[in-house]
Chain A
Amino acid sequence: MNEEILISGRMNPHIDPTLGIWGWEIPLYLFLGGLAAGILFFASLYTLLGREKELPTAVRKATFLVPIILIVGLGALFLDLKNKLYFWQLYTTIRIESPMSWGAWILMLITPLSMAWCLSYWRDLAPGWKYKLEWLEYIEKLVNKYRKPMAWILIVSSVILGIYTGILLSAFNARPLWNTSILGPLFLVSGLSTGAATIMWLSKEQLERSLFSKIDLLLIGIEVFFIIHLFMGFMASNAAQIEAAGLFLGGAYTLPFWIGVVVLGLIVPAILEIMELRGRKIPVAIPALLILFGGLIFRFIMVDAGQISSYLY
């Protein structure tokens, strides 16, 4: 025995024996937030580039999912709160230093905006629709008129939303596994990639599918680069971060991370997409689902493993 630590008299729920204050709610939300950010980013990007006609799924169809995704995500966040009835306290202050405050406010902006965006394309789905409420019609007209400025707001706020899902974790300097600035860009790229996969999956147009297949390939490449970068950073850092990286390099999370996230969530879908672009017939749902599943378990693994990693005992 070289060193042993015994704690007497402390058995606080969710803290001991290992920290577990965040359960399934936060990783699920981080995934959904990234996915919503991804879809909105491409919708506003291609609106600003004036390609609405060519890419109907990216600009219109897929965005109908966003309010649902965001509401489920917000529901998960709400469930995570231990003092649920006090949730409105988030909106009584703006705390620049707290990423969670940023997140709360950006969600407050992006959720109604995404709903308004869908409202403006509602007639595509139901051409003969008559609104019972006049103000809904008014919003629809307003959005149709100011779509470009709205796309500008959405493109900026979707990038903030995507990055924030990573920065939320990296702001915790007490958890060595999270305390790396690469997590923001990594979560953003992963969110964009899940968004692109969803658009690719929903699309019926050949042009759109192959475009988003290529975008996805590029994003997967960047993601792999960031993951290598993440571990390079850990290995060149202090003892606590080397130990945290050890959770993925021989430790408890080695198999789920390298097989689940890297191989099944990134490499296999990339190979399938390359094969499809070369003319093989591959059902598009397979790579899309693999990417989405990889993105989901990536967040679960990061949140779980991060809570185990620490500076003290």
Chain B
Amino acid sequence: MRYAMVIDTKKCVGCSDCVVACQNENRVPIGYCRDWVIEHAKGAFPNVSIELRSERCNHCENSPCVRCCPTGASHYEEGGLVMVDRGACIGCGACVQSCPYNARFSHPEGYVDKCSFCNHRLKEGKSPSCVSVCPTNCMYFGDLNDSESQVSQLLKNRDWKVLAPEVGTKPQVYYLI
């Protein structure tokens, strides 16, 4: 099992529904968020283009946050999920510094928080809340080890990229371009 998210930047309209769904589902405190939308404009007029990306924790295969955590609070779980054990987190900030995607934040209650790929929903056989609410169906979630899964097929048939691959984290959120 290797969970991954695939997001089609050609279908995303930047409505931020994923952000609101996540805040609601995971009771993210007001003023914080676990996912967000990037509007990336390129080129000079008249040759301009815009890419919209819904971003979150990449649940990296080689996670610097897991490596740098001094207490083992950041850890891997089944399917390659990168999770935080709230009872073991001392709030030192090492994982926040180590994340090239700035996907982690310090929860007002002291521990570090971030996207969990809604693992409580995965256990019930549902997809993450951001994926489930997307009005354009631009987000896909599944198992990359299963070559017949929708995510594997999309990555096989479409051009894609990951963010900051040069940092060597092997991120697991893929963007179709």
Is A312 an interface residue when CB atoms closer than 8 A count as contact?
yes
Residue pair B91, A14 in contact (C-beta under 8 Å): no
Q: Which of A87, A93, A99, A311 contacts B68 (CB 8 A)?
A: A99
Q: Which of A13, A86, A95, A104 contacts B32 (CB 8 A)?
A: A13
Residue pair A9, B67 in contact (C-beta under 8 Å): no
Residues of B within 8 A of A3 (CB): 40-43
Is A80 an interface residue when CB atoms closer than 8 A count as contact?
yes
- Given A173-B64, A174-B64, A238-B166, CB of A83 within 8 Å of CB of B91: yes
Smallest CB–CB gap between B66 and chain A, Å? 8
Residue pair A13, B90 in contact (C-beta under 8 Å): no
Residue pair B67, A98 in contact (C-beta under 8 Å): yes
Is B16 an interface residue when CB atoms closer than 8 A count as contact?
yes
Is A157 an interface residue when CB atoms closer than 8 A count as contact?
no
Interface hits, A143-175 → B, CB 8 Å? 171-175
Residues of B within 8 A of A87 (CB): 90
Cα–Cα, bound, A8→B93 (Å): 24
Nearest A residue to B51 by beta-carbon distance?
Answer: A5
Smallest CB–CB gap between A25 and chain B, Å? 10
Binds A, one of B1-9, B104-112, B138-146, B152-160: B104-112
Q: Which of B33, B100, B105 contacts A9 (CB 8 A)?
A: B33
Cα–Cα, bound, A15→B68 (Å): 18
Residue pair A10, B100 in contact (C-beta under 8 Å): no
- Given A12-B32, A174-B99, CB of A83 within 8 Å of CB of B90: yes
Residue pair B166, A311 in contact (C-beta under 8 Å): yes
Cα–Cα, bound, A103→B37 (Å): 37
- How big is the A interface, by class? 35 or more
Interface hits, B1-56 → A, CB 8 Å? 14, 16, 19, 31-33, 36-45
Is B127 an interface residue when CB atoms closer than 8 A count as contact?
no
Is A101 an interface residue when CB atoms closer than 8 A count as contact?
yes
Smallest CB–CB gap between B148 and chain A, Å? 33
- How big is the B interface, by class? 35 or more
Interface hits, B89-117 → A, CB 8 Å? 89-94, 96-102, 104-106, 110-112
Residue pair A1, B16 in contact (C-beta under 8 Å): no
Annotate A59-85 by CB proximity to B: 1 below 8 A, 0 otherwise. 000000000000000000000111110
Residues of B within 8 A of A104 (CB): 70
Is A4 an interface residue when CB atoms closer than 8 A count as contact?
yes
Smallest CB–CB gap between B173 and chain A, Å? 13
Annotate A21-51 by CB proximity to B: 1 below 8 A, 0 otherwise. 1100000000000000000000000000000
Residues of A within 8 A of B89 (CB): 83, 86, 89
Residue pair B16, A9 in contact (C-beta under 8 Å): yes
Residue pair B70, A100 in contact (C-beta under 8 Å): yes
Is B163 an interface residue when CB atoms closer than 8 A count as contact?
yes
Residues of B within 8 A of A9 (CB): 16, 19, 33, 36-37
Q: Which of A5, A6, A12, A89 contacts B90 (CB 8 A)?
A: A89
Q: Which of A8, A103, A171 contacts B39 (CB 8 A)?
A: A8
Known: A4-B40, A100-B94. 13 other contacts (CB 8 A): A5-B39, A7-B37, A13-B31, A13-B106, A14-B105, A86-B88, A87-B90, A90-B71, A172-B64, A174-B167, A240-B166, A307-B97, A313-B38
Chain B contacts to A: CB under 8 angstroms: 14, 16, 19, 31-33, 36-45, 64, 67-73, 87-94, 96-102, 104-106, 110-112, 163-164, 166-168
Task: Give 8 A-B contacts (CB < 8 Å), ordered by A residue.
Answer: A1-B45, A11-B31, A15-B105, A92-B88, A95-B71, A99-B68, A311-B167, A312-B101
